[in-house]
Amino acid sequence: MKKYLFLIILLGVNYLALAQKVAEPSTTAHPEWSKPYPPFQIAGNLYYVGTYDLACYLIVTPKGNILINTGLASSAPVIKTGIEALGFKLADTKILLTTQAHYDHMGAMAAIKKLTGAKMMVDAGDAAVLADGGRSDYALGSTTSPYAPVKADRLLHNGDTVKLGGMSLVVLHHPGHTKGSCSFLFDVKDSKRKYRVLIANLPTIITDKKFSEIPAYPHIAADYAYTLAAMKKLTFDIWLASHASQFGLYDKHRPGSAYNPAAFIDRKGYDAQLKDLQAQFTKKINEK
Ligand SMILES: [Zn+2]
């Protein structure tokens, strides 16, 4: 009996350890991250299914769907309800992608992967961080995981394509914000025309440390410089981003308004964002 009691205690402790392993940081400073937002059709078979600010994208194909980003852990039901409101099924998700391995985009990924059995494909630079739930992230890492770990089914590299049901997404390695941040470039079409879409992971700087003082990411400055240069050269019709506020969703779309892909054609807004990010980067590397 004593032996069993010992076992029960041991299991209980293990269970507690597991339960405590994931601790999402508080987001009370960002109420817009968990605020629901009505899903809508952006262009062709591309839909917005995220929260008010945490952008999640659904690409619908005859062979199943691709979901890019998941928001916070609490976003899982928001995404599911959104997909259903659009007339689709979460269960049809075949491929999961993320623009970066941070908890505000990865929070519900493990849960959605479990629900759908979809394949997680991630930029190779973020695979290790994904697998430990963000614990080893150079900036947001800690002893607990900010989100539930996800093991990648496929590692993606710059220029790789993700294909499903006639869709082909080009992976653009845009490191800096995380080691494996990436953007996606692909074509969608409706009855009128074709649109080249860029889902951009903007290289915002999150660390307060000097770039020269981050041993966990020695080539961070070179990565940001590469990403900024690469992003300036991209051509596209429509651009979107990891956060809705980054591409000005609220100026371009009103909930319930009619289908209007042209609203997201905005090279000027993209260039302005990059100009601002370039200035922040220059300031950062010149820090004494
Ligand atoms: Zn981030």
Q: Give the pLDDT of residue 189.
A: 97
Distances (CA, A) of 210 to 93, 99, 100, 139, 254: 40, 24, 21, 12, 40
Whole-number Å distance, alpha carbon 89 to ligand 1 midpoint, is: 28
Whole-number Å distance, alpha carbon 129 to ligand 1 midpoint, is: 13
Whole-number Å distance, alpha carbon 166 to ligand 1 midpoint, is: 30
Q: In whole angstroms, what is the distance from residue 69 CA to residue 108 CA?
A: 9
Q: Give the pLDDT of residue 221.
A: 97
Secondary structure letter of residue 280 according to DSSP: H
Q: In 10 A of CB 191, how many CB atoms?
A: 5
Alpha helix positions (H), 135-288: 220-232, 249-252, 267-285
Whole-number Å distance, alpha carbon 63 to ligand 1 midpoint, is: 31
Whole-number Å distance, alpha carbon 130 to ligand 1 midpoint, is: 13
Q: Give the pLDDT of residue 20.
A: 45
Q: Does domain 32-285 have CATH number 3.30.70.1450?
A: no
In a 3-state reduction of DSSP, which class is residue 158? coil
Whole-number Å distance, alpha carbon 100 to ligand 1 midpoint, is: 6
Whole-number Å distance, alpha carbon 122 to ligand 1 midpoint, is: 15
Whole-number Å distance, alpha carbon 127 to ligand 1 midpoint, is: 15
Whole-number Å distance, alpha carbon 206 to ligand 1 midpoint, is: 8
pLDDT along the chain (288 residues), means of 10: 52 47 87 92 98 97 98 95 98 98 97 98 98 93 92 98 98 98 98 98 96 95 98 98 98 97 98 98 91
Evaluate if pTM is beyond 0.85. yes
Whole-number Å distance, alpha carbon 255 to ligand 1 midpoint, is: 25
Cβ partners under 8 Å of residue 66, min gap 6: 58, 59, 93, 94, 95, 96, 97, 162, 164, 167, 169
**AA identity, residue 271:** D
Q: Give the pLDDT of residue 16.
A: 45
Q: In whole angstroms, what is the distance from residue 83 CA to residue 161 CA?
A: 24
The CA angle 236-238-240, to the nearest 5 degrees, is 110
Question: What is the residue extent of each domain of the chain?
Answer: 32-285
Whole-number Å distance, alpha carbon 48 to ligand 1 midpoint, is: 19
Q: Give the pLDDT of residue 31.
A: 86
Q: Give the pLDDT of residue 141.
A: 87
Whole-number Å distance, alpha carbon 106 to ligand 1 midpoint, is: 10
Q: In whole angstroms, what is the distance from residue 127 CA to residue 155 CA?
A: 7
Q: Give the pLDDT of residue 276.
A: 98
Q: Give the pLDDT of residue 142.
A: 84
Q: Read off φ and ψ for residue 167, nearest 5 degrees.
A: -90, 150
Whole-number Å distance, alpha carbon 138 to ligand 1 midpoint, is: 12
Whole-number Å distance, alpha carbon 277 to ligand 1 midpoint, is: 14
In a 3-state reduction of DSSP, which class is residue 195? strand
Whole-number Å distance, alpha carbon 209 to ligand 1 midpoint, is: 16
Cβ partners under 8 Å of residue 234, min gap 6: 172, 183, 185, 198, 200
